[in-house]
Amino acid sequence: MMIDARELINYAIIAKGKAYAPYSKFRVGAAVLAKGGTIYSGCNVENASFGATNCAERTAIFKAVSEGAKDFIAIAVNSDSENFTYPCGICRQVIAEFSAGMKVYVSNRKGEYKEYTINELLPGAFTGEDMK
């Protein structure tokens, strides 16, 4: 299955609509493309205890992993912001866990986007290779 950046971002936009963000009002959606062609989407889920909040990127990846996917090609992130929405540091670490070369599409509310690899966003990531 071939999918382009814009289509993956559209999945993230749809996921954003499901966000639970009653405190920050900052809705975020993410969509991750697995090597088999399946797309897993996720949204941010806030909690009154902010430490219990889960970002959209981790929601999408954890959903994929819980369904058996562990090899990913790309992830797209979208919010209502005029600015490009980047994965936070924890999400970057989770993305790096699964694919050092994964493409990361960051976008804004207009659907404009930029493309990076996770290595560009998190150089020198701590990975399983560091534990050998």
Q: Which residues are CB-contacts of 127 (< 8 A; sequence separation ≥ 6)? A: 96, 97, 100
Q: What CATH code is carried by the domain that includes residue 51?
A: 3.40.140.10
Number of domains in the chain: 1
**Across 14-29, average pLDDT:** 98
Residues 55 and 89: beta-carbon distance below 8 Å: no
Enumerate the active-site residues.
57
What residue ranges in 1-132 does DSSP mark as E strands? 28-34, 39-43, 72-79, 103-107, 113-117
Q: Give dist(CA 118, CA 113) in Å, integer.
A: 15
Res 104: pLDDT: 98
Closest by CA position to 78, among listed 49, 107, 52, 37:
107
Instruction: Judge whether 43 is annotated as a binding position.
Output: no
Q: pLDDT tens digit string along 40-75?
A: 999 999 999 999 999 999 999 999 999 999 999 999
- The terminus-to-terminus CA distance of the chain in angstroms comes to 35
- Which structural domain, as residue segments, surrounds residue 104? 5-131
Q: Give dist(CA 8, CA 33) in Å, integer.
A: 8
**Across 90-102, average pLDDT:** 92
pTM of the model as a whole: 0.94
Query: Does the pLDDT at position 2 exceed 80?
Result: no
